[in-house]
Chains A and B, each alone.
Chain A
């Protein structure tokens, strides 16, 4: 994989939170490459480290408590070594973020028009009139009805879906080349979620942005991703194109996740649940963190960290049970 043209690149990213009583190992060696204009979906359950990874890309983690190691490059620039002023320009400028809960991400005491205008002026230095026109343009871009009126609306006056659209508008205000989305549709109803997903997909295509989308929902990943990276206990266990990972996963965890997601299973038999629970991020375990729950574990899994295997080009799985052969494997957990 070439790194020269990569829009975003993480290399052995590690994040731990150091507290008085304990240390939480949130991210334990994550590497990925995002080419420009593509959508990468980071798929994982709670505690997998996916949100922390995303925030580390913009260094949005609490500075005193968090220790970040490894390297993160956006458009070739080393984010972890950036001085604060450059970082501030990066945030909102080259890279923008859309959060899960718009009610907490938008300032409740300012209208959304004001917030967008402020962001535009901060990054481009233009005058109010130009910024206002741009804000109107953005609200129409995200298909907010009666955009002119909504400029003067406060966040609490808008419904959930409209707030999320407003947040997307704010994120797009400075034409970012990379959009980071942290479960932006999780808190929305199904009929609203599908609207937002389609909107994001269309915007991404039209504006040619790269997107890193964090979610726990396989259906959402299927709708929006080009490539999928599955995370478990702070590591990426499988990556590949969305077709490959969702139709024919090779890592036991991905396969287990797919099998245990309720989607049209026959009613009279049990769902193939993955036994046990995710590991405690406060404990650092040797070997593969999925081993205690894995039906295909071998003795080596508990002592050694699985190295990446490539069942075919572009498809990686960190598992000893996956042969690195050119033969295509369509494994499904039974």
Chain B
């Protein structure tokens, strides 16, 4: 029996979102600064539907990596709630059980795998820790390696330093799959890879999602990749959600000025269509002391008086596919259609 393709036993009904994040906050106090803190994640709410891929985009400092760790309780949120398939974490489901259902693939770095452990032990560690006997854990590891198209006999006994970047990333994916999760969080999984290898890994991820009935949360700064993989996209800026909606709506009719600027900053691959003016000036501000009012107003070409004082709200719930943006002017402005 294929251990990895577990039949999903939904606690909730199919319409129950697999993951609900409510008002997650995580601040990191800065030592010696008199109570100031890095407001990495400052009130994030969204849902992840069963079987979808939710893409999360943002630039450095927006808090997406912190968010990834919050979803697994690798970091404990200061406030806020996480509900997995109808059961609140801490209440209806323990953190240990959460980690059986939700796994994470990190950005491949030289330290993502234990250099002293052969690959098969690294992959078998997850099932082993979750109670499987050694022999069975090894067997699961073999299956997982085969799933990511790495020959278990050839790669199992090897050490991380003998593998290329793309192969290591496949191992990371195998490690995440070995515990039989229902949801996988991918934190910049292809950013460190060459483009030709990136394509291979993306194809693999798509195939695995189909085969194993997975739900993905795909975090990246690369808008092209997010567009290719995601069903819905969430745009983050300085610890907040600024826009959320179906992927084509976001890319064709971005409602928030930041999203528009982000999309306009992507180089086309056509030398005949060069970007002449930077769509946005300045840099992302410091997450320690974000601007008052709308956090984006310091760089926003459309900012008005209201924006400097009042934080634009974002509705908590998205029922049917809907496209929301945290901008006072979203309704008034007619967003330009971007191809």
Contact = CB atoms under 8 A, between A and B. Distances in A.
Given A191-B262, A262-B224, A273-B199, A160 B268 contact: no
A45 B196 contact: yes
Chain B's interface: helix, strand, loop or mixed, by majority? Answer: loop
A247 B268 CA distance: 12
Contacts of B194: 45-46, 216, 278
A198 B331 CA distance: 32
Contacts of B225: 262
A190 B270 CA distance: 17
A300 interface: no
Contacts of B274: 222-223
Interface residues of B, number: 44
B275 A198 contact: yes
Interface in B26-69: 59-60
B278 interface: yes
Interface in A219-243: 219-220, 222-223, 225, 242-243
Contacts of B202: 262, 271, 273
B196 A194 contact: no
Interface string B229-269: 10000000000000000000000000000000110011111
Interface in B215-234: 221-225, 227-229
A272 B221 CA distance: 22
A271 B265 contact: no
A225 B272 CA distance: 11
A191 B195 contact: no
B199 A189 contact: no
A134 to B, nearest CB: 25
Interface stretch (B178-186, B280-288, B318-326): B280-288
Interface residues of A, number: 45
Contacts of B275: 194, 197-198, 223
Contacts of B197: 273, 277
A241 B33 CA distance: 54
A273 B228 contact: no
A320 to B, nearest CB: 21
A210 interface: no
Contacts of A190: 59, 221, 223, 262, 265-266
Contacts of A278: 164, 194, 196
Contact of A243 (B164, B221, B271): B271
A275 to B, nearest CB: 8
A242 B271 contact: yes
B196 A257 contact: yes
A218 B200 CA distance: 18
Contact of B203 (A197, A217, A271): A271
Contacts of B261: 191
Nearest to A242: B271
Interface in A20-60: 45-46
A261 B195 contact: yes
A264 interface: yes
Contacts of A225: 271
A198 B196 contact: no
A220 B275 CA distance: 11
B2 interface: no
A246 B269 contact: yes
Nearest to B190: A262
A45 B165 CA distance: 12
A126 interface: no
A98 B272 CA distance: 26
Given A190-B266, A261-B269, A270-B206, A277 B276 contact: no
A246 B267 CA distance: 13
Interface string A168-201: 0000000000000000000001111111011000
A277 B164 contact: yes
Contacts of B167: 277
A247 B273 CA distance: 12
A270 B203 contact: yes
A302 interface: no
Interface in B151-195: 164-167, 194-195
A246 B279 contact: no
A246 B274 CA distance: 13
B209 to A, nearest CB: 12
A242 B197 CA distance: 23
A260 interface: yes
A265 interface: yes
A10 B284 CA distance: 40
A219 B271 contact: no
Interface in A150-173: 159-162
A267 interface: yes
B198 A191 contact: no
Contacts of A247: 270-271
A162 B271 CA distance: 27
Interface in A243-270: 243, 246-247, 256-258, 260-265, 267, 270
A275 B272 CA distance: 30
A274 interface: yes
Contact of B277 (A162, A198, A260): A198
Contact of A191 (B203, B229, B270, B280): B280
* CB-CB nearest 7 A-B residue pairs: A219-B267, A273-B199, A260-B199, A189-B59, A45-B194, A271-B199, A194-B265
6 contacts: A45-B195, A190-B221, A190-B265, A191-B261, A191-B284, A260-B199
Given A262-B199, A272-B199, 13 more contacts: A189-B60, A191-B279, A195-B278, A216-B195, A246-B271, A257-B196, A261-B195, A262-B202, A264-B224, A267-B229, A270-B206, A273-B202, A278-B196
